Amino acid sequence: MTSEHIISVTESSFEYDVIAYSQNIPVVVDFWADWCKPCRVLTPMLERFAEQSQGEFRLAKVDVDANPNLALRFSVRSIPTVMAFSQGRKVSDFTGLVPEHVVREFLARILPPRPSDLLAQKGNSLLHAGELKEAMEAFMQALDLDENHSPSLLGMIKINLLEGNSAAARSLYQNFPASPEFNAAEKLVPLIKALQDIDDDQLPQENDLDAVFVNSIRLVKRRNTLAGIDGLLEVIRQDKRYRKDLARSVLLALLELLDPEAELTRKYRAELASILF
């Protein structure tokens, strides 16, 4: 495939089509060959991303059989090999067939941030500062630009959980797009379910430890997140494997809502580790 954003380059055109062109936008070079089976999977993936980017980067394809000197010049020992060029120099690379999320992360490192990404960064900063209303506004602005912007959707799930709104969080999760942020969203599922269960009066209430657990979830529901965390830690102190790790999984989900760099978050994680190990 060739198009405005996807080209084939040769030894004679490489300097202009890749090195010089990378002064304007990043150029991703795909070293491939007809006989390479992994290339048949990776190259279409790269082509799809190039088309979707609408000019954020150029994909330049190099047939190593037809252009052996280019493979030699850039020490290509196996294919597929992918290299990114910016400002006239190589800035990143990877070799072999990798999952789609790895390709996305590779591209994210070389591309300038989109307005939606900058808004999501702002939203996360506000979220970690406890400014939930302002954080939601930033995430919503990002979603106005890109309705499937996964960092902003993840932020919206976190805000709804901090506000005890399990129904909204669940709906956002159920419609979450395939993306690098999906795994982070998945970590929040135990908390989504616990908040939903307390709404439906489905949490266990058979003994005193169950009462502590239920009260902890109620505290989270009432936006008293830190008190809820303290309660869950107490449950785990008394029973490390409480109801097949239910308390631990909910606690870990709660910690995902906090600023990962905050001293309090590190303190809670260290306390959990000391109890478990």
Domain ranges of the chain: 6-110, 115-186, 189-276
**245, burial (CB in 10 Å: exposed 0-12, middle 13-18, buried 19+):** middle
Q: Using one digit for the tens of pLDDT, what is the confidence trace for 163-185?
A: 999 999 999 999 999 887 999 99
pLDDT tens figures, 251-271:
999 999 999 999 999 999 999
Lowest mean pLDDT among 54-58, 75-79, 116-120, 234-238: 54-58
Catalytic (active-site) positions: 36, 39
Question: Which residue, among 40, 180, 181, 29, has the nearest Cα to 97 in the 3D structure?
Answer: 40
Residue whose C-alpha is closest to residue 164's, from 234, 252, 257: 257
CATH class, domain 115-186, is mainly alpha
Q: What is the pLDDT of residues 13-45, one digit of tens each?
A: 999 999 999 999 999 999 999 999 999 999 999
Residue 94: how many CB atoms within 10 A of its CB?
16
Mapping DSSP to helix (H, G, I), strand (E, B) and coil, where does residue 43 land? Answer: helix
CATH number for the domain running over 6-110: 3.40.30.10
